[in-house]
Amino acid sequence: MKSFPSLRRIWFDGILFICNRVVGHLPSHALRKFFYRSVMKIEIGEKSFIFCRAHFDARGGFRMGNHSTINGECRLDNRGGIVIGDNVSISAQACILTADHDPHSPTFAGRERAVRIDDHVFIGTRAMILPGVTIGRGAVVAAGAVVTKEVPPLAIVAGSPAKEIGHRDPTFDYRVDYCRLFA
């Protein structure tokens, strides 16, 4: 006979359900930000926004700097920790993973590795960032790219797996202040 899930498990899964299926769909940045900060225990800097239908995998383990934007329908697997710097723009449907399984383990053991995204990074639509990756200051990840290893500062990467295709000018004179009223 199977045992019932513990109350702790019900609480955890309930919070994630409310976060991803209810709060994540509310057309109010203020309400979502309040819930994310107070209930989900994630850090969101000033003038930073997480648009509708973002999906989180855990409470905590997420820190986002100032003037950064995460567009709609992004998957944010924060189990292993995600740190996002200032003036970062993450396009719609991007996927940031911090947990996977070790294919060399006889038990297919789970593992978690943090992802760090430094200041002034741009990540294109449907890009995928795999566990343990650091994306350096000012780098650009093209739409649809699959980032499997560290991206140096100012590099422009594209493809699957992502490869360097260019360099960005190191002079930055902008703030990411992108917010839509009902997003």
Counting Cβ atoms within 10 Å, is residue 95 exposed (0-12), middle (13-18) or buried (19+)? middle
- CA torsion 125-126-130-131 (nearest 10°) is 80
* Pairing state between β 99-101 and 110-112: antiparallel
| 101 in active site | yes
Catalytic residue among 55, 101, 120, 167: 101
Under 8 Å between Cβ of 92 and 76: no
Are the CB atoms for 99 and 57 separated by under 8 Å? Answer: yes
Residue that the structure tokens 């260019």 belong to: 166
Specify whether the backbone of 61 is left (phi greater than 0), alpha (psi in -120 to 50) or beta.
Answer: left
Torsion of CA 51, 86, 148, 62, to 10 degrees: -60
Active site residue ranges: 101
